[in-house]
Structure 1
Amino acid sequence: MSSVFLRFSVGFHAARRSVRGVGCLRDKRLWGNFGPQVTAGALQQTPGRTYATNIKAQDSTTVKKFDAEDENEILEKIKNIFAEEERSGHVVPVFKKALLHGNKVAIKDQINEYTYHRLYAAAKRLSAQISNLCGSGSNARVTFLCPNDALYPVVQWACWFSGQVAVPLSTRHPTELLKYFVKDSESTLLITTPEYEAVMKPISEALQKVLIVIDHTFIPEIDAQSFILDPKNENVVRMAGQWNIEGVLSADFYGKSDAMILYTSGTTGNPKGVVLSHKNVNAQVNCLTDAWQFSSKDCLLHVLPLNHVHGCVNALMCPLSVGGKLIMQDHFDSHNVWSALLGINTPTKDRVNMFMGVPTIYNFLIDEYDKIFAKNSRMVEYIQNHCEKNIRLMISGSAPLPNTVFSRWYDISGHRLLERYGMTEIGMALSNPYVEDKVRQRKPGTVGLPLPGVEIRIADGDNKTLFTCKGEGNKGFWAKDEQPVYTKKPDSKSEPIIGELQVKGPNVFKEYYNRPEETKKEFIDGYFKTGDIACYDDGSIKIMGRSNVDIIKSGGFKISALEIETHILEHPSIKDVAVVGIPDDTWGERIAAIAVLRPNFELDLETLKVFCTDRVGKYAVPSVLKIIDEMPRNAMGKINKRDVIRLYFGQPQKQEAATSKATDPASENKSTKSTSSSEPTDNESKKSTTTATTEKKS
């Protein structure tokens, strides 16, 4: 099969008018009034060429506006349809819920603002193209690389609209890793945007995959007076006296199908595809919207990467599932975030009341605050008053939140960060309370109790149950404001209970893609083994650390040390290497490489960083290099990395180990050389997450 490139947009820029080849097919069942899609015949044209479909936006002047009675009648009937589907155990994906919020603005990004109606129409249009290429409801994998803007949900929704499995990629991954994800997921189709076409096109050519390129002009202009449920828009149809959603697959399909594959680093060194079904995603979204009380009034500032649960599920799907609004910035910038949080030069309708980040982001925001605001007493007072009055919730996730950051942010904003815990495989499992009272408190360093619908247990080394607990919606720990104060700590014990945290519930992933044996060994008695050690004490759970030191948490990522070691060993100077995480207040952990060189070879940190940058993501490049004569191994040839950290970097809890000024007990040994860089790595979220959410000072 030859690779084919397709470019879709509503209007063409001048540079695209020379694009050749148009394939047209009108299928009104899928398209409604939105016209053409590419035919199989068009795909057989010259390989390597970019094809365009000249699609005109719907002429809104032809659409008759319903009166209020008509609108309310159809809206109530669609709500009843969704409610009945959920009562029957089916799933209502987030893109279908967009029908309930038509002309409300869903997303404002760097380009424009987009209503739910416009996003739905664009997703519906793209889904027809996807169905034509993959087959409707075929559960084919569709890999896509999009920036942090409105095009991401358009592509995600289009995959689900068509009945495919969405596989989002990160813009920070190197080409070889992107190619690995496409191959490992056995993707049928690739989708990207113009800014990443140069990255994805060589991959599509190498792997002989069709590549679709779309830009913001693909999202149609729709008159604000056009009702999304007006039958003229062909989103709903009346048959035998009943209203039905037009062009979507059955509720039964979504209840039995997969939604996403998210990649996460594993201890084997190769990233594994975590398969989340629509039921998994639905459970993850519902437990958070319930526990954290999302509503259509929320406006969330989004700066997180969208290939992780934190950015994709928590920060994107949760607000969109209830009709909320997102202000999407394409990357984190401390100045821009402060401007948005404080509503500087921002219309009232775009002022945010929620924010999600990783601990590293909060560190940068605190640094910016100290540089710009801290010496101005009026600004200090204004910032705290503004945040207390206008911001409902702030979330920090993907790594443990240092107590110093928790306390400092409370002093700055009047908000107490609510930490939570989750992983790619389970979504969010534990959370500190949204509502605080005399018993329910957000304690620094703890992650609360199970979210609604999630069951956990703490087990000893023999998998004997030491403690169990299950979260219930609107009860006990998760009771709403208007209910009686929660006064009893569940299963309170006088002594702390310590063991491995294990999780069970509809939120837990289906499988690792094409890895049945690895999937099987991660479960016991129906529980997923997180590999993290937890302590239950005084009505709350604290994560003590990982049972596997080969996973490093840095800047929100969960990184496989073994994968980095594999690449470093390709360097001609390296004979042996161990990669470890050393504590750091800003990044959580910094990545350190302890290496044995081949005879007569030399290596410095900058050389190693350049070598690694082409092979791993920037966030996985070591910032510390220590050269030693011989790697300490046991009689079985294994390295005890905990001993290595103690030997070469002192006590693990000492931050100094992460800097070039580290107090190194081995530094007097002339055979050991240490090089360190203070340059930060990228800060995003990955597999394991401990999130913090803020609310007003009490």
Structure 2
Amino acid sequence: MFLRRSRTITNYFNVCALNNINNGKTCRQNLIITEKSYKCLYSTNTAPINSATRSQQTVSDEFNEVDYVKRLKKKFEDETRDNGIIPPFKRALLFGSKIAVKDAKGETSFARLFLGAKKLSVKISNICGSGASARVCFLCPNDVQYVLAQWATWFSGQIAVPLSPRHPVELLEYYVNDCDASLLVCAAELEHILEPIAKKFNKPIIFVERSDIPEMTEGTTSLLDPKAENVVQLSQSNLVITGAQNSKFYADSKAMILYTSGTTGRPKGVVLTHKNLNAQITSLTNAWHIDDKDTVLHVLPLHHFHGVVNGLVCPLNVGSKLIMLPQFESSNVWTYLLNVNMPMRDRISLFMAVPTIYSLLIQEYDKIFSQNSQMTEYIKSHCKNKIRLMISGSAPLPETVFNRWYEITGHKLLERYGMTEIGMALSNPYIQDKARDRRPGTVGNPLPFVEVKITESGNPKNTLIQRKGERGRGFWNKIDTPLFDVSPQAEPSEPISGDLYIRGPTVFQEYWNKPEETKKEFVDGWFKTGDTAGYENGYFKILGRSSVDIIKSGGYKLSALEIESKLLEHPKILDVAVLALPDETWGSKVAALVVCRNQEEEIDVNELKEWSKSKIPSYSFPTVIKFTKLIPKNAMGKVNKRDLIKEFSEKKEPVEAPQ
């Protein structure tokens, strides 16, 4: 049974119906774990129960589900105090039949998702071995199957390596080969992409099916299918989660490898441990006040830190509900943000996106809503009063977008700063009052547990300012709440800028199989971000990338060198330089200066784009291309790309590539 609105919105412009919404409370049966759930989740005995045994089970009059959750929480707390790590899939047991994920094909509770992951983990362990820390590459769409594959990999004690269906086959092959994957896991609908790679590298492959997640059927005594072999009895004396590794294993193990572009041109595998993820979860959920009352709209790519950790792992770890869209579409996102024709239980409270998404949403707003005063008034009222937090990251947020979004929704976007290697390091405050505000163009202060310093450019020994997010009072929480704050330190008398360094438990362990490159990125335990940062009036600000060969466009971090190397494979291209041009919508747009082998014949841009589809992701292809006779280089063969940017304004008009 679900509570619904008394009236619904039939289209964007049916404003009147919005005034009579029944703001009922969520049904309690959707929020608690039932005894039926527990019967198949915990046991000290791993032996299966047959149908006859199950039919004889009775519910104890003394069973107290609230007490049972308290016991489980205490178990987790004790293990944490003993330096153990409780991964997200185990914490799912605290939320039972509460909905974890809603996607295009339905809803899945935490308990069902846990049981599905447990079932799939058996297949993984049969191939990799339990607790082997083998690399498991998985390819799934943006839906519950992704969570299922991720959790099952961790359940089995392996390292998760997420792949993207948007990547060309050549890049997927590189990832599988570079991490030396022991197993490939694939959603059935993407079999045509991954199975040929499995055959090429002689890798075993198994397929994720939604049917791996058990259905709750009327009259059953558990969430598992009656014939399931891993149904186990409830033990009132001891809580043992069967099939998973213990908390000590997760405290000492790698969790995930995310590939990120680097200045060498080839993607590097960033190794994140379960300790890294746990520190990040604790930091963000405290700073941004994420909890089990949140409903998060997820529209981000699931092979980048932003989408994987911020948008998925953190919310699920604390019992939030995820509404996962298969891809970003402006009209669809507005539908969810405004809760159009949807039950109250699906009302969004938290939204994370990249600046490009906010720009595109503004464009949709201007096209569809801006001329309707009733609708614009409703949108601002609804977003301001019903959605508690909107976050922007992965690329610089233009001040024009910040201001326009505030005009439309009443929300000052919370801008933060992070990268795959360090996680989230800096953030504007969640709470806004006279002492704290979200300032456009800034990224706030260090998040809990994170240390940040700015040094003189090129001189890491000369620290200009150093800050640490720690337990205290003030910046992250209410003044009278003794939670997280920023370490007190004398304020500099004038604005400063320099190289940005990060240290803390969220910083990655290593680049996969690249010890020398890992070593080069650290100075006395501090990670060199490669970014230039400033500090003024109590807030940090990112001034730009120290290296021009990393392009942040639409939330993606792209390697100019990697794009160049692929374009140079075209038989008609002699030389190429890929650059970043400022763009309000995309943050930066990818541009290319191209030298043709035949100086008398320029390459057809449409043909080049079609050719590149098998080489680079579509979002990496240059949106602006200019042909030239020569790319200037110094005696060492290096290109001054800052000078080359002038080519796009001083000479022949560039060619806009097809979108």
- In structure 2, the residue corresponding to 1:130 is in which secondary structure? helix
Of the three residues 355, 365, 376, the one matched with 2:351 is 355
Q: Kindly provide the CA deviation profile for residues 321-341 of structure 1, in whole angstroms up to 9, marking residues without a partner as x.
A: 111111111111111111111
Residue 454 (str. 1) matches residue 479 (str. 2): no
Report the CA distance shift for 1:503/1:34 in structure 2 as closer, same or farther (over 3 A).
farther
Residue 140 (str. 1) matches residue 125 (str. 2): no
Match of 1:101 in 2: 95
Q: Kindly provide the CA deviation profile for residues 661-682 of structure 1, in whole angstroms up to 9, marking residues without a partner as x.
A: xxx2123xxxxx6212363xxx
Q: Whole-Å Cα distance in 1 between the matches of residues 490 and 223 of structure 2?
A: 49
The question of whether the paired residues in 2 share the 8 Å contact of 1:148 and 1:330 is answered with yes
- In structure 1, the residue corresponding to 2:475 is in which secondary structure? helix
The question of whether the paired residues in 2 share the 8 Å contact of 1:573 and 1:601 is answered with no
Q: Kindly provide the CA deviation profile for residues 165-187 of structure 1, in whole angstroms up to 9, marking residues without a partner as x.
A: 00001111001111110000100
- In the TM superposition, what is the alpha-carbon distance from 1:89 to its structure 2 partner? 2.0
Q: Kindly provide the CA deviation profile for residues 1-40 of structure 1, in whole angstroms up to 9, marking residues without a partner as x.
A: xxxxxxxxxxxxxxxxxxxxxxxxxxx99987599xxxxx
- In structure 2, the residue corresponding to 1:637 is in which secondary structure? coil
Q: Whole-Å Cα distance in 2 between the matches of residues 377 and 62 of structure 1?
A: 64
- In the TM superposition, what is the alpha-carbon distance from 1:489 to its structure 2 partner? 7.5
- In structure 2, the residue corresponding to 1:139 is in which secondary structure? coil
- In the TM superposition, what is the alpha-carbon distance from 1:607 to its structure 2 partner? 2.3
The question of whether the paired residues in 1 share the 8 Å contact of 2:295 and 2:349 is answered with yes
Q: Whole-Å Cα distance in 2 between the matches of residues 227 and 524 of structure 1?
A: 54
- In the TM superposition, what is the alpha-carbon distance from 1:480 to its structure 2 partner? 3.0
- In the TM superposition, what is the alpha-carbon distance from 1:473 to its structure 2 partner? 3.9
The question of whether the paired residues in 2 share the 8 Å contact of 1:235 and 1:247 is answered with no
- In the TM superposition, what is the alpha-carbon distance from 1:235 to its structure 2 partner? 6.6
Q: Whole-Å Cα distance in 2 between the matches of residues 445 and 32 of structure 1?
A: 58
The question of whether the paired residues in 2 share the 8 Å contact of 1:489 and 1:539 is answered with no
Report the CA distance shift for 1:244/1:215 in structure 2 as closer, same or farther (over 3 A).
closer
Report the CA distance shift for 1:98/1:283 in structure 2 as closer, same or farther (over 3 A).
same
- In structure 1, the residue corresponding to 2:533 is in which secondary structure? strand
Q: Whole-Å Cα distance in 2 between the matches of residues 641 and 440 of structure 1?
A: 39
Q: Kindly provide the CA deviation profile for residues 488-538 of structure 1, in whole angstroms up to 9, marking residues without a partner as x.
A: 985322211111111000000000000000000000010110000000111
- After the TM superposition, which residues 496-645 of structure 1 pair with which residues of structure 2 at under 5 Å, given as runs? 496-599=495-598, 600-645=600-645
Of the three residues 412, 431, 437, the one matched with 2:427 is 431
Letter in 1 for 2:420: T
Q: Whole-Å Cα distance in 1 between the matches of residues 613 and 244 of structure 2?
A: 43
Letter in 2 for 1:90: G
Report the CA distance shift for 1:431/1:87 in structure 2 as closer, same or farther (over 3 A).
same
Match of 1:666 in 2: 651
Match of 1:657 in 2: none
- In the TM superposition, what is the alpha-carbon distance from 1:70 to its structure 2 partner? 2.9
Match of 2:323 in 1: 327
Q: Whole-Å Cα distance in 2 between the matches of residues 439 and 70 of structure 1?
A: 45
More divergent stretch after superposition (529-538 vs 58-67):
58-67
Match of 2:39 in 1: none
Aligned residues: 608
Q: Whole-Å Cα distance in 1 between the matches of residues 268 and 105 of structure 2?
A: 34
Q: Kindly provide the CA deviation profile for residues 163-208 of structure 1, in whole angstroms up to 9, marking residues without a partner as x.
A: 0000001111001111110000100100111210000110011011
Match of 2:26 in 1: none
- In structure 2, the residue corresponding to 1:475 is in which secondary structure? coil
Of the three residues 409, 413, 428, the one matched with 1:413 is 409
Report the CA distance shift for 1:192/1:586 in structure 2 as closer, same or farther (over 3 A).
same
Report the CA distance shift for 1:642/1:60 in structure 2 as closer, same or farther (over 3 A).
farther
- In the TM superposition, what is the alpha-carbon distance from 1:608 to its structure 2 partner? 2.1
The question of whether the paired residues in 1 share the 8 Å contact of 2:100 and 2:321 is answered with yes
Match of 1:480 in 2: 478
- In the TM superposition, what is the alpha-carbon distance from 1:482 to its structure 2 partner? 4.9
- In structure 2, the residue corresponding to 1:332 is in which secondary structure? coil
The question of whether the paired residues in 1 share the 8 Å contact of 2:46 and 2:242 is answered with no
Q: Whole-Å Cα distance in 1 between the matches of residues 47 and 408 of structure 2?
A: 51
- In structure 1, the residue corresponding to 2:622 is in which secondary structure? coil
- In structure 2, the residue corresponding to 1:395 is in which secondary structure? strand
The question of whether the paired residues in 2 share the 8 Å contact of 1:106 and 1:114 is answered with yes
Letter in 1 for 2:120: L
Q: Whole-Å Cα distance in 2 between the matches of residues 60 and 437 of structure 1?
A: 57
Q: Scaled by the length of structure 1, what TM-score is found? A: 0.83
Residue 403 (str. 1) matches residue 383 (str. 2): no
Letter in 2 for 1:538: N
- In structure 2, the residue corresponding to 1:471 is in which secondary structure? strand
Gaps of 5+ in 2: 1-42
- In structure 1, the residue corresponding to 2:184 is in which secondary structure? strand
Q: Could you say which structure has the greater relative contact order, defined with CA pairs below 8 angstroms and 6 or more residues apart?
A: 1
Of the three residues 170, 186, 195, the one matched with 2:180 is 186
Match of 1:469 in 2: 467
Q: Whole-Å Cα distance in 2 between the matches of residues 64 and 319 of structure 1?
A: 35
Report the CA distance shift for 1:68/1:157 in structure 2 as closer, same or farther (over 3 A).
farther
- In the TM superposition, what is the alpha-carbon distance from 1:146 to its structure 2 partner? 0.4
Letter in 2 for 1:120: F
Of the three residues 266, 270, 279, the one matched with 1:270 is 266
Q: Scaled by the length of structure 2, what TM-score is found? A: 0.88
- In structure 2, the residue corresponding to 1:243 is in which secondary structure? coil
Match of 2:257 in 1: 261
Q: Kindly provide the CA deviation profile for residues 22-69 of structure 1, in whole angstroms up to 9, marking residues without a partner as x.
A: xxxxxx99987599xxxxxxxxxxxxxxxxxxxx9x999776556584
Letter in 2 for 1:292: W
Of the three residues 639, 656, 659, the one matched with 1:676 is 656
The question of whether the paired residues in 1 share the 8 Å contact of 2:445 and 2:540 is answered with yes
- In the TM superposition, what is the alpha-carbon distance from 1:614 to its structure 2 partner? 1.4
The question of whether the paired residues in 2 share the 8 Å contact of 1:291 and 1:473 is answered with no
The question of whether the paired residues in 1 share the 8 Å contact of 2:44 and 2:238 is answered with no
Q: Whole-Å Cα distance in 2 between the matches of residues 235 and 538 of structure 1?
A: 59
Letter in 1 for 2:326: D
Letter in 2 for 1:543: I
- After the TM superposition, which residues 204-219 of structure 1 pair with which residues of structure 2 at under 5 Å, given as runs? 204-219=198-213
Q: Whole-Å Cα distance in 1 between the matches of residues 60 and 631 of structure 2?
A: 75
Residue 377 (str. 1) matches residue 373 (str. 2): yes
Report the CA distance shift for 1:625/1:64 in structure 2 as closer, same or farther (over 3 A).
farther
- In the TM superposition, what is the alpha-carbon distance from 1:633 to its structure 2 partner? 1.1
The question of whether the paired residues in 1 share the 8 Å contact of 2:467 and 2:487 is answered with no
Match of 1:222 in 2: 216
Letter in 1 for 2:182: T
- In structure 2, the residue corresponding to 1:544 is in which secondary structure? strand
* Aligned residues: CA RMSD: 2.5
Share of identical aligned residues, percent? 52
Q: Whole-Å Cα distance in 2 between the matches of residues 573 and 445 of structure 1?
A: 42
Q: Whole-Å Cα distance in 2 between the matches of residues 507 and 565 of structure 1?
A: 32
More divergent stretch after superposition (96-105 vs 220-229):
220-229
The question of whether the paired residues in 2 share the 8 Å contact of 1:264 and 1:424 is answered with yes
- In structure 1, the residue corresponding to 2:459 is in which secondary structure? coil
Report the CA distance shift for 1:64/1:393 in structure 2 as closer, same or farther (over 3 A).
farther
Q: Whole-Å Cα distance in 1 between the matches of residues 338 and 472 of structure 2?
A: 32
- In structure 2, the residue corresponding to 1:575 is in which secondary structure? strand
Match of 1:494 in 2: 493
- In structure 2, the residue corresponding to 1:421 is in which secondary structure? strand
Q: Kindly provide the CA deviation profile for residues 461-501 of structure 1, in whole angstroms up to 9, marking residues without a partner as x.
A: 11121111000145332233654999998532221111111
Report the CA distance shift for 1:474/1:370 in structure 2 as closer, same or farther (over 3 A).
farther
- In the TM superposition, what is the alpha-carbon distance from 1:308 to its structure 2 partner? 1.1
Report the CA distance shift for 1:582/1:204 in structure 2 as closer, same or farther (over 3 A).
same
More divergent stretch after superposition (602-611 vs 414-423):
602-611
Report the CA distance shift for 1:68/1:302 in structure 2 as closer, same or farther (over 3 A).
farther
Gaps of 5+ in 1: 1-27, 36-55, 650-663, 668-672, 680-698
Letter in 2 for 1:184: D
